[in-house]
Amino acid sequence: MISVETIKGAFSETECARLVALSKASETRDAKLVGRARDHNIRRSDLVWVDEAEGYGWVMDRIIDVVRDCNRSVFCYDLTEFAESAQIARYGAEREGHFDWHSDIGSGVLAEKRKLTIVVQLSDPDAYSGGVLEVQPSTAVSVAQKACGSATVFPSFMLHRVTPVTEGERYSLTVWAHGPAFR
C-alpha cells in the first residue's frame, strides 16, 4: 500500500525558527506552477530558495538523512539525487495563501523525475488558521501533522493541497527526491 509518512521532530523548533527568519529576511518570489506558469487561483504563496542563502547547507544534509531512512523503511524507491533546491513557502492570510489540488510530477525536465515529496512544517500550529496540508493517497484524504518540525513524506504523484490560510501565516519547507522513471 502506498502511504503518507510522518517523521516527527525531523527539524527542531530552533531550526524551524531559523528557517522562518531566513525567509523573512530574504527577497521572496511569487510562487509559480510547473512550466513557470502563474495562476493565483491555483497557487498563492511566496517562495525563498534555500540554496541561495549562505550557511544553510545543513538543511539538505538533514533532508538527505530523513529521506534515506524513510525511503529505506517504507518506499524503497530508486532515488538518485536532489536536483532541485529546497524552498521555503509562506502562505499568508492577507492573500488567502493556498495551493489547490495538484501532483508534483510534471512534464518539466526536473519535475518528471520527482519521486518523493518532503514537506516540513516550520510554523507553530497556533500561528495560523487554515493552511492544512492534505494528501490523497486513495479515496480518503490524509491530513499532515501540524507540529513544528514534523516532515510529511509521500510519493510525488499523489494529489495534495494546502487549504487557504485564513489567519496568520504558515511557513513550510519543501524539497523533492529524484530518480529514474517509475516502471
Using alpha carbons only, give the angle 118, 85, 136 rounded to the nearest 5 degrees. 25
Quick one: DSSP state of residue 66?
H
pLDDT tens sequence for the chain (183 residues): 578 999 999 999 999 999 999 999 988 887 766 655 666 667 889 999 999 888 899 999 999 999 999 999 999 999 999 999 999 999 999 999 999 999 999 888 899 999 999 999 999 999 999 999 999 998 899 999 999 999 999 999 999 999 999 999 999 999 999 999 887
Rounded Cα distance between 123 and 103, Å, is 23
In which residue are the cell numbers 499523489 written?
Answer: 158
Which residue has cell 536532489? 82
Domain 5-178 annotated CATH 1.10.10.10: no
User: Do 175 and 168 meet the contact criterion of CB atoms below 8 Å apart?
Assistant: no
Q: Domain boundaries in the chain?
A: 5-178
**Pairing, β 87-92 against β 128-130:** unpaired
CB within 8 A of 18, min separation 6: which ones?
none
